[in-house]
C-alpha cells in the first residue's frame, strides 16, 4: 500500500479542554472516538460515580473500587494500581469530593501516561509498503479497506495486494473492497505463494511511481474484544516480525477499551489506529489526550 505522509500523532493533538462544534462532535474524529469508546466509557464512569456517591473522603474502599474498575477495563493490573495511586495523591491534595473532579484527574493521568508511551516511527514523504498482519478474524481485511480509504482521502495513491492466498474467499473479499473503493488489487489464485503476490504488487507499484525510496512498515491488527488474548498474540508476533505499531480493531464492541493502555505500557508498542466500526470510515488515529478524554473525561 503506497502512501505519502503520516503526521506524527502529537501534531494533531488538541488541548484537553478544546470543545468541538456540534457537527464535529457527531461525525468528526472525536465523535467517532467517543462512539467507539462508548461501552468502556459508560462502564468506567458509572463505577467512578458510584464510588464517589455521598463521599467526603477518598477512603481505602473507594480506592480499591477504582482499581478494580480500571483492571476491569483491561488496563492491566500494574498500570491500574499506578494510575489510581497518582489520582489518589492529587485528589487528597485537593481534597476532592466530587466524581466529576475525580474523572478529570483520572483523565489527566491516563493522558500523561499514554503520552509517555512509545511513539510511531515517523514516516517520510515517499511511498510506503504496509504489511498488515494478525490472527484469523481480528479485522485485517476491513482495516486494510479503512487504511486505503484514509490514504485516498489524503490524495495518495493506493494499491492493495491480496497476500492471504490460504483462506477460501479471502482474495475475493479484498477484491470486493478494492472495487468499492476504486483501488487496484494485485492478486493471484488461491494457494499461490503470498511472497510472489507481494513481489508482483511491489513491481507494479514501482512501475507506476518514480520514487526511489520505499519505506516499509508492519501493522499488527488486534481485536479489542479478545482482551488478554490479544496481548498474548502481540507478544508472539513481536518475536517473529518487527512490529511498527498496532491497529486495535472492534473497540466499539467492548467495554475493555483500556487495552490500549496495556498494549502501550506492557508491550511497548505504539498504538496507531483504533477501529470503531465495520465501515471504511470507521477508523480513528490514536491520540493520547483525546483518547483519555473519550475514555474517562
Ligand X SMILES: Nc1nc2c(ncn2[C@@H]2O[C@H](COP(=O)(O)OP(=O)(O)OP(=O)(O)O)[C@@H](O)[C@H]2O)c(=O)[nH]1
Applying CB under 5 A, which residues contact Mg ion?
A: 140-141
Nearer of residues 69 and 141 to Mg ion, judged by Cβ:
141
Residue 129 grid cell: 509498503
290, 107 in Cβ contact below 8 A?
A: no
Hey, is 125 helix, strand or coil? coil
Nearer of residues 107 and 226 to ligand X, judged by Cβ:
226
245, 263 in Cβ contact below 8 A?
A: no
**Binding of residue 149 to ligand X (CB under 6 A):** no
Q: Which of 250, 256, 287, 289 touches ligand X by CB under 6 A?
A: 250
Residue 40 grid cell: 468502556
Smallest distance from the beta carbon of 177 to Mg ion, in angstroms? Answer: 10
Q: Which of 31, 127, 139, 270 touches ligand X by CB under 6 A?
A: 139
Pairing of strands 215-223, 128-133: parallel
Smallest distance from the beta carbon of 283 to ligand X, in angstroms? Answer: 8
**Binding of residue 239 to ligand X (CB under 6 A):** no
**Binding of residue 150 to ligand X (CB under 6 A):** no
Class of residue 200 by CB neighbours under 10 A (exposed 0-12, middle 13-18, buried 19+)? middle
Residue 202 grid cell: 511491489
Smallest distance from the beta carbon of 252 to Mg ion, in angstroms? Answer: 19
**Binding of residue 253 to ligand X (CB under 6 A):** yes
The interface mask with ligand X, positions 194-233, x = CB under 6 A, is ----------------------------------------
147, 1 in Cβ contact below 8 A?
A: yes
Residue 20 touches which of ligand X, Mg ion, none (CB < 5 to 8 A by kind)? Answer: none
If phi > 0 it is left, if psi is from -120 to 50 it is alpha, else beta; for residue 268 that is: left
Smallest distance from the beta carbon of 179 to Mg ion, in angstroms? Answer: 16
Give CA–CA dist 201/159, Å, rounded. 8
Nearer of residues 75 and 171 to ligand X, judged by Cβ:
171
**Binding of residue 134 to ligand X (CB under 6 A):** yes
Residue 42 grid cell: 459508560
Nearer of residues 81 and 198 to ligand X, judged by Cβ:
198
Smallest distance from the beta carbon of 225 to Mg ion, in angstroms? Answer: 17
The contacts of residue 226 (CB under 8 Å, 6+ apart) are: 138, 233
Residue 138 touches which of Mg ion, ligand X, none (CB < 5 to 8 A by kind)? Answer: ligand X
**Binding of residue 163 to ligand X (CB under 6 A):** no
CB atoms within 10 A of CB 286: 24
Q: Which residue is nearest to Mg ion (CB)?
A: 141
166, 156 in Cβ contact below 8 A?
A: no
264, 271 in Cβ contact below 8 A?
A: yes
Residue 31 touches which of ligand X, Mg ion, none (CB < 5 to 8 A by kind)? Answer: none
In the complex, the residues that contact ligand X under the rule CB under 6 A are 134, 136-142, 164, 167, 170, 249-250, 252-253, 275-278, 282
Amino acid at each position: 500500500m503506497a502512501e505519502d505522509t503520516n503526521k506524527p500523532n502529537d501534531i494533531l493533538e488538541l488541548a484537553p479542554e478544546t470543545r468541538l462544534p456540534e457537527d464535529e462532535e457527531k461525525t468528526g474524529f472525536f465523535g467517532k472516538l467517543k462512539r467507539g469508546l462508548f461501552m468502556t466509557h459508560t462502564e468506567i464512569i458509572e463505577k467512578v460515580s458510584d464510588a464517589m456517591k455521598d463521599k467526603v473522603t477518598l477512603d481505602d474502599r473507594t480506592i480499591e473500587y477504582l482499581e478494580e474498575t480500571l483492571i476491569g477495563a483491561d488496563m492491566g493490573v500494574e498500570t491500574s494500581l499506578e494510575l489510581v495511586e497518582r489520582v489518589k495523591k492529587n485528589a487528597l491534595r485537593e481534597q476532592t469530593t466530587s466524581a466529576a473532579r475525580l474523572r478529570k484527574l483520572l483523565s489527566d493521568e491516563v493522558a500523561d501516561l499514554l503520552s509517555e508511551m512509545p511513539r510511531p516511527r515517523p514516516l517520510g514523504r515517499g511511498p510506503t509498503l504496509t504489511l498488515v498482519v494478525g490472527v484469523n478474524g481480528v479485522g485485517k481485511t476491513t482495516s486494510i479497506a479503512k487504511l486505503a480509504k484514509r490514504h485516498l482521502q489524503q490524495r495518495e495513491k493506493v494499491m492493495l495486494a491480496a497476500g492471504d492466498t490460504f483462506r477460501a474467499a479471502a482474495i475475493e473479499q479484498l477484491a470486493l473492497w478494492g472495487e468499492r473503493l476504486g483501488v487496484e488489487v494485485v492478486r493471484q489464485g488461491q494457494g499461490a505463494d503470498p511472497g510472489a503476490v507481494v513481489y508482483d504488487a511491489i513491481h507494479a507499484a514501482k512501475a507506476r511511481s518514480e520514487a526511489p525510496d520505499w519505506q516499509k512498515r508492519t501493522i499488527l491488527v488486534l481485536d479489542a474484544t479478545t482482551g488478554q488474548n490479544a496481548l498474548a498474540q502481540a507478544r508472539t508476533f513481536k518475536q517473529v516480525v518487527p512490529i511498527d505499531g498496532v491497529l486495535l480493531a472492534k473497540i466499539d464492541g467492548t467495554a475493555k477499551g483500556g487495552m490500549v493502555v496495556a498494549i502501550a505500557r506492557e508491550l511497548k508498542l505504539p498504538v496507531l489506529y483504533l477501529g470503531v466500526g465495520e465501515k471504511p470510515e470507521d477508523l480513528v488515529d490514536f491520540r493520547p489526550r483525546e483518547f483519555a478524554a473519550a475514555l474517562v473525561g
